[in-house]
């Protein structure tokens, strides 16, 4: 139904309700954008204060050595791969064998070991 103009130049009540609802919805939508921008900006400031993570690529040999030492308590160590996963994180993969079973390990390293996971390897049939 199209709005009709009155003799005094006003519009009917339906149009007023529609315009009010439209303005309220727009304000909520823009408010969400503003909040999102504020959160994004705050995150960027926090990241700037913390600084860029230090590249530890030169630490790959140390990571392999320290992770091998950690894994050696479970048996003979074989390093499979050393990967620079991000500018500040190295992941070392390998296996350990104690003569009874062979297991795989994953070792996370920054400037020291930050995570070590040991998993059983299923026997081949």
pLDDT tens figures, 49-103:
555 556 777 899 999 999 999 999 999 999 999 999 898 999 999 999 999 999 9
pLDDT value at residue 37? 44
Q: 61 and 21 in one domain?
A: no
Domain span at 38:
1-51
Q: 44 and 65 in one domain?
A: no
In a domain, 125, yes or no: no
In a domain, 37, yes or no: yes
Q: 76 and 102 in one domain?
A: yes
pLDDT value at residue 57? 79
In a domain, 12, yes or no: yes
Helix, strand or coil, per DSSP, at residue 12: coil
In a domain, 91, yes or no: yes
Q: 106 and 63 in one domain?
A: yes
In a domain, 20, yes or no: yes
pLDDT value at residue 52? 58
Cα–Cα distances in angstroms (integers) from residue 59 to residues 79, 99, 103, 115, in the given order = 16, 31, 25, 16
Q: Give the predicted TM-score (pTM) of the model.
A: 0.56
Q: Of 116, 108, 118, which Cα lies nearest the Cα of 56? A: 108
The span from the CA of 93 to the CA of 90, in Å, is 10
Q: 42 and 84 in one domain?
A: no
**Segments in the chain forming alpha helices (H):** 13-50, 60-71
Number of domains in the chain: 2
Q: 67 and 108 in one domain?
A: yes
pLDDT tens figures, 6-42:
445 554 555 556 555 655 555 555 555 555 544 455 5
DSSP 91-119: EEEEEEE-SS-EEEEEEEESSSEEEEEEE
We report the CATH number of the domain holding residue 62 as 3.10.450
């Amino acid at each position: 139904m199209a709005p009709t103009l009155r003799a005094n130049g006003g519009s009917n009540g339906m149009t007023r309700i529609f315009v009010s609802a439209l303005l309220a919805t727009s304000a909520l939508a823009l408010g969400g954008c503003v909040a999102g921008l504020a959160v994004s900006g705050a995150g960027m400031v926090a990241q700037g204060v913390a600084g860029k993570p230090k590249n530890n690529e030169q630490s790959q040999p140390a990571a392999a050595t320290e992770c091998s030492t950690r894994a050696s308590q479970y048996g003979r160590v074989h390093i499979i791969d050393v990967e620079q996963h991000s500018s500040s994180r190295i992941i070392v993969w390998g296996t350990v064998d104690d003569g009874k079973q062979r297991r795989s390990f994953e070792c996370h390293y920054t400037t020291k070991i930050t995570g070590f996971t040991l998993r059983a390897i299923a026997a081949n049939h």
